[in-house]
Amino acid sequence: MIRLAKPYISEEAMQRVVEVLRSGNLVQGENVRQFEEKLEQYLNVKHVVVVSSGTAALHLSLLALDIGIGDEVIVPAFTYPATANVVEIVGAKPVLVDITLDDFCIDISKIEAVITDRTKAIIPVHEFGQSADIDPILAIAKQYNLMIVEDAACALGSEYKEQKAGTFGNLGCFSFHPRKAITTGEGGAIVTDDQELAEKVRSFRNHGISVFNDKINFEYAGLNYRMTDFQAVLGIAQLNEIDFLINHRIKMAEVYDENLKSIDWIKTPIRMDGRKSVYQTYHIMIEANIDRNGLITTLKKNGVETNIGAYALHMIKYYREKYNYQEQDFPSALNSCQYELALPMGMHINISDVQYIYECLSCFKN
């Protein structure tokens, strides 16, 4: 089976994890701080706070910005539900905005229409490892005095005008889930150049603790969103190879592009000027007359694992029922969800795998 995703973990990384396990020092420690420092250097930011997941990163970011009951946060209508879920969890309202079908990121032309006096922040998502068009979003945020929390869960290493995605807003959030470019099993990170925000999220991730004159104070009602030291050492080893890992993804995307261009019912990812994608997902769109479920089943029978890439949030039971959404409220999000397909991507696939996947796709008949 050519799996949809498979984490790349080198022998060196495994050995370093074993060393940490044998040391008995498992909780947040020196390896966590070393991982944070390496990420600070890689992303060229002042502060990185690693946490237990990408969702935890988003949650802590909203807490640090004091977003809560009565507030509104703008979220793209097509993403993984975690982006909107954390807004609900803090008691605020996620206000959905449709996406574009070029980059599958938030449609900037539709943002201003939903801003109210309750709007506190925008969460642009760098979907599938493709950076959102961030400059106009920054301009809107400045005009309306809004905060920006970048959901860069899929986008470690992605770039917008040669600057790393996730480093433009007040806070940026990353995920180290096994489908991402580097993984710590589960894990995430918050990045910021704002020292006050960095101190708040560090405290929130560790039960609200702050230390002053070697004395522990519980400054906030915090959470336990810490990363373990053996997760961090796994991240350090993979971060050392991140350019190699990303370049392989880009190369496989180019091979996909070249092979799939002859299949007229498939639309491959668009390369956007001034943006570098890391292809966390190689996301294609198929024409409406193609039986997607039948295609997924046929590919599976031929040893190729596929899946959908993201979700139209307004069609998820919770959001549909709570906010009484209708199908056509966000037509691009709906279109994306109905006709998308994620193909295998990662270090586990090679050129011959991509060519085989192409052959399976080209032979498919409804």
Task: Sort strands 171-175 and 215-218 into parallel, antiparallel or unpaired.
Answer: unpaired
Listing DSSP states for 239-250 in one string gives HTTHHHHHHHHH
CA atoms of 286 and 268, how far apart (whole Å) = 9
Contact 6, 249 (CB under 8 A): no
Residues forming beta bridges with residue 216, ordered by sequence position: 211
180 is catalytic: yes
Determine the longest span between alpha carbons in the chain, in angstroms.
71
Neighbouring residues of 247: CB distance < 8 A, sequence distance ≥ 6: none
Among residues 180, 200, 215, 261, the one annotated as catalytic is 180
Return the amino acid letter for 166. Answer: G
* Alpha-helical runs (H) found in 67-168: 82-89, 134-144
CA atoms of 310 and 80, how far apart (whole Å) = 5
Contact 73, 93 (CB under 8 A): yes
Which positions are annotated as active-site residues? 180
